[in-house]
């Protein structure tokens, strides 16, 4: 029996992004067995169900939540509670999943024991991204200026150049690892999720972080997540992160973020 992937997807004010970005990329990856679990964080009451009535997507789709915005981490944990897959994939609604992404992640994951790895797709982002270690081009950063055809035309160049970025979402992991970590920390509304999840994986025994060459997403400048990041400019997430991990004996955790390489004390491998 082939492994199944559960895609955990919080959605906040994202109906256009879902239609014009995420779902169009998702169609490129329906050759693998997967389910899409959407948590409706949209306090304005937008309905996501009608997006799938004529989408020609045959995968199992579940929509949960009551429209109350309780944050990214709360939504991820609720999605995980009803997930039936062997592996979890954590994208955002403003990510376009390029062809073969999920298949590549799954094929590599099957070679590793569930508790020993954490995978990440490589990410293409707009040219003014803060990411320094990648080829940076802009294919649009809003749903209505997203240049999908141009991106697809140049897709092979990105694969051949093996673009590498620092550790960040979207993460891909076995559900046993997620369960061992007890999911994500709901004390964060959304900001610091990436950093805390990486640190939590290390805490439970993960020592290898893989970015997979043939796994690519295009990320539209964080438009979906930033809309619900009420804590992103507040010092509280940082302070909580530092205090939490110092209490657990990780004195090197001075501050989360990619500019602090001591945050990731396990082996980074690019395959």
The model carries a pTM of 0.89
pLDDT classification of 259: cutoffs 50, 70, 90: very low
Calpha distance 36→89 (Å, rounded): 10
pLDDT tens digits for range 136-145: 678 888 888 9
Domain boundaries, the chain: 5-270
Asked if pLDDT for residue 122 goes beyond 90, the answer is: no
Identify the band that residue 209 occupies on the pLDDT scale cut at 50, 70 and 90.
confident
Long-range contact list for 175-179, CB < 8 A, 24+ apart? 175/6, 175/80, 175/83, 175/85, 175/86, 175/87, 175/88, 175/114, 176/114, 176/115, 177/114, 177/115, 177/117, 177/118, 177/201, 177/204, 177/206, 178/80, 178/88
pLDDT over 90 at 82, yes or no: yes
Architecture of domain 5-270: Alpha-Beta Complex (3.90)
pLDDT at 43 over 60: no
To which H or E segment does residue 79 belong?
helix 72-82
Retrieve residue 54's tokens: 């004529």
pLDDT value, residue 7: 95
Question: What percent of the chain lies above the pLDDT cut of 70?
Answer: 76
| Per-residue confidence (pLDDT) for residue 271, from 0 to 100 | 52
- Is residue 258 within 8 A of residue 219, CB to CB? The reply is no
pLDDT over 70 (residue 232): no
pLDDT score, position 11: 86
Mean pLDDT, rounded, for 233-255? 80
* 20, two tokens: 């014009």
Cβ neighbors of 243 (< 8 A, separation 6 or more) are none
Backbone angles phi, psi at 196, to 5 degrees: -70, -35
What pLDDT score does 98 carry?
Answer: 93
CA torsion sign for 202, 239, 222, 12 is: positive
**Each residue of 159-207: pLDDT tens digit?**
877 766 666 678 999 999 999 999 999 998 887 888 888 889 888 988 8
Cα separation, 21 vs 143, in Å, equals: 6
At 258 the pLDDT is 47
- Per the structure block, which two tokens stand in for 3? 């492994």
């Amino acid at each position: 029996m082939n492994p199944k992937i559960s895609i955990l997807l919080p959605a906040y004010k994202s109906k256009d992004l879902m239609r014009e970005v995420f779902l169009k990329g998702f169609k490129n990856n329906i050759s693998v067995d997967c389910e899409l679990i959407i948590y409706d964080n949209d306090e304005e009451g937008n309905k996501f169900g009608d997006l799938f009535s004529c989408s020609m997507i045959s995968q199992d789709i579940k929509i949960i939540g009551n429209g109350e915005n309780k944050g990214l981490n709360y939504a991820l944990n609720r999605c995980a509670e009803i997930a039936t897959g062997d592996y979890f994939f954590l994208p955002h609604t403003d990510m376009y999943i390029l062809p073969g992404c999920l298949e590549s992640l799954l094929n590599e994951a099957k070679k590793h024991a569930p508790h020993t790895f954490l995978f990440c797709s490589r990410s293409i982002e707009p040219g003014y991204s803060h990411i320094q270690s990648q080829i940076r081009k802009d294919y649009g950063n809003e749903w209505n200026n997203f240049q999908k055809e141009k991106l697809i035309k140049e897709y092979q160049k990105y694969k051949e150049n093996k673009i590498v970025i620092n550790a960040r979402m979207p993460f891909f992991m076995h559900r046993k690892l997620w369960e061992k970590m007890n999911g994500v920390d709901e004390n964060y509304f959304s900001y610091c999720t990436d950093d805390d999840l990486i640190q939590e994986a290390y805490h439970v025994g993960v020592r290898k972080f893989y970015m997979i060459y043939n796994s690519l997403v295009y990320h539209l400048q964080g438009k979906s997540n930033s809309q619900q990041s009420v804590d992103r400019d507040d010092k509280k997430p940082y302070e909580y992160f530092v205090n939490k991990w110092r209490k657990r004996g990780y004195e090197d955790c001075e501050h989360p973020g990619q500019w602090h390489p001591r945050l990731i004390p396990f082996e980074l491998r690019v395959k």
